[in-house]
Amino acid sequence: MRKCCTAKIPILIKGCAPAGQNASLRLGCDALKPRPNAIIRVEHMAATVAAVVVAGGRGLRAGGDLPKQYRHVLGEPVIRPSLAAFAGHGGISLVQPVIHPDDAALFRAASAGLDLLPPVNGGATRQASVRAGLQALQPHRPEFVLVHDAARPFASHALITRAIAAARASGAAVPVIAVADTAKSVDAAGRVTGTIDRAHLRLVQTPQAFDFAALIEAHRRAKAAGRDDFSDDAALAEWAGVEVSTFAGEAGNVKLTTDEDFVRAEAAGLAALSDVRTGFGFDVHQFGDGDHVMLGGVRISHRRGLSGHSDADVVLHALVDAILGALADGDIGVHFPPTDPQWRGASSDRFLAFAVERVRARGGRIAHLDVTIVCEAPRIGPHRDAMRARIAEIAGIATERVGVKATTSEKMGFTGRGEGLAAFANATVRLPWKERL
């Protein structure tokens, strides 16, 4: 790891173009060090920023047998990238999901492996659901909060960064995009009554960003006044007398509402992630003292252990190199050098989680992971499904996107002589296409 440094990230605030203000978000490099069983965070060095992700609705207009936030786009339930975008963002310290009480099992499956607060049940309206999320966050006392709809799964890392900056700059801000089409006003019969100057119109998205204390107080006042009909938190804040500013939204940050939206999202997602990369990884460790081996994040009893600076998990190490290779981002030794004592005995799930976060930070997705283990013993078959499930959990992908195979070397070579284990891995990664001059 490199020594700590700070980086200034440019932001857009108060409008759909750079505001010309020299604001920045300072991030500490030491915080990039991975933690076990979690999406890697960058701990913010100033005030705490939390996120409420609202997923309590039924989504009936989207059709299908499931609420829309649990329908799949590009092989994942819609809610997962919505949650992962905030859980994996260095400026967000807490992520509070709000769900429907009937969806607990669906939520557990969709959010496996993500670093989140326990979900809370929402209310009969969106406003009531947001209020439940804010109340759940209150003991943590965040200074700022972002409120996001789970049905917007394409919010980018940059958009969340702008939202955090806008919250700090103004205390209340919403992402907006300009209206491209001519806007008309109509009467009850659908007849045109006038043309509206679209220069003064904006389409509002989420995440919406607020001073936490001001927003929860506005919710309390609205409840006391019997108001539970605000369509978004900006409207509620305006009613409470809070001045709301704007920052640049994104055309791709669409809300999935109808079945047609899902069809378009699937097509757009594939088109956007058109840079398909394949990486290859290889690792080997020799047997040493011990009574178990770690393979694919699973502890397997064995008469000997594996020697290595970390836990010597050849499967996860090979997968890390495969992912980093697809990104052209060095190898495991570059990011976790064996000469660094902090990685002595470290659990290798930390390394894999780090590599996965490198993909997410570039706006990409892992499409498939495949590994072949070469050994005479232990037997892999009885543990194959557990390995697939654990790798999928760490990588934040569906189990059907993980392949685990095993073979022997027919008693030839170091594996045939029982001197050690080897693993070969391939990773298929989809990234946004960027032309390079």
What are the phi and psi torsion angles at 149 (to 5°)?
Answer: -85, 130
146 and 170 in one domain? yes
What are the phi and psi torsion angles at 71 (to 5°)?
Answer: -70, 155
pTM for the whole thing?
Answer: 0.61
Last residue of a domain, one of 232, 255, 271: 271
Q: Which of 33-37, 207-211, 341-345 has the lowest mean pLDDT?
A: 33-37
214 and 90 in one domain? yes
What are the phi and psi torsion angles at 197 (to 5°)?
Answer: -70, 105
Report yes or no on 437 lying in a domain. Answer: no
Angle between helices 212-224 and 126-137 (to 10 degrees): 130
Q: Give per-residue pLDDT as tens, 99-114.
A: 999 999 999 999 988 8
Report yes or no on 379 lying in a domain. Answer: yes
- Indicate the average pLDDT of the chain: 85
Q: Give per-residue pLDDT as tens, 127-182.
A: 999 999 999 999 999 999 999 999 999 899 999 999 999 999 999 999 999 999 99
Contacting residues for 57 by C-beta, under 8 A, at least 6 apart: 67, 68, 69, 100, 122, 126, 129, 151
326 and 246 in one domain? no
Last residue of a domain, one of 251, 271, 291: 271
**How far, in Å, CA of 421 to CA of 403, rounded?**
18
Report yes or no on 436 lying in a domain. Answer: no
Report yes or no on 354 lying in a domain. Answer: yes
Last residue of a domain, one of 271, 298, 328: 271
Report yes or no on 408 lying in a domain. Answer: yes
323 and 289 in one domain? yes
**How far, in Å, CA of 402 to CA of 294, rounded?**
18
Measure CA 296 to chain center.
22
Assign 274 a pLDDT band (cuts: 50, 70, 90): confident
Report yes or no on 1 lying in a domain. Answer: no
What is the CATH classification number for the domain harbouring 49?
3.90.550.10
140 and 100 in one domain? yes
Measure CA 117 to chain center.
14
Contacting residues for 95 by C-beta, under 8 A, at least 6 apart: 50, 51, 53, 83, 86, 87, 114, 115, 116, 117
Assign 7 a pLDDT band (cuts: 50, 70, 90): very low
Report yes or no on 194 lying in a domain. Answer: yes
Q: Which amino acid is at 184?
A: K
Assign 41 a pLDDT band (cuts: 50, 70, 90): very low
SS3 state of residue 133: helix
Beta strands in 124-262 (DSSP E): 144-149, 172-178, 183-186, 192-196, 202-204, 208-211, 245-248
Region 398-413 average pLDDT: 93
207 and 86 in one domain? yes
295 and 193 in one domain? no
Report for 244-248, 334-338, 396-400: range of highest mean pLDDT? 244-248
83 and 198 in one domain? yes
pLDDT the model gives residue 38 = 38
What is the CATH classification number for the domain harbouring 403?
3.30.1330.50
Report yes or no on 92 lying in a domain. Answer: yes
323 and 251 in one domain? no
**How far, in Å, CA of 358 to CA of 371, rounded?**
20
142 and 251 in one domain? yes
218 and 80 in one domain? yes
Residue range of the domain that includes 21 = 6-271
Domain count, the chain: 2
pLDDT the model gives residue 45 = 39
221 and 290 in one domain? no
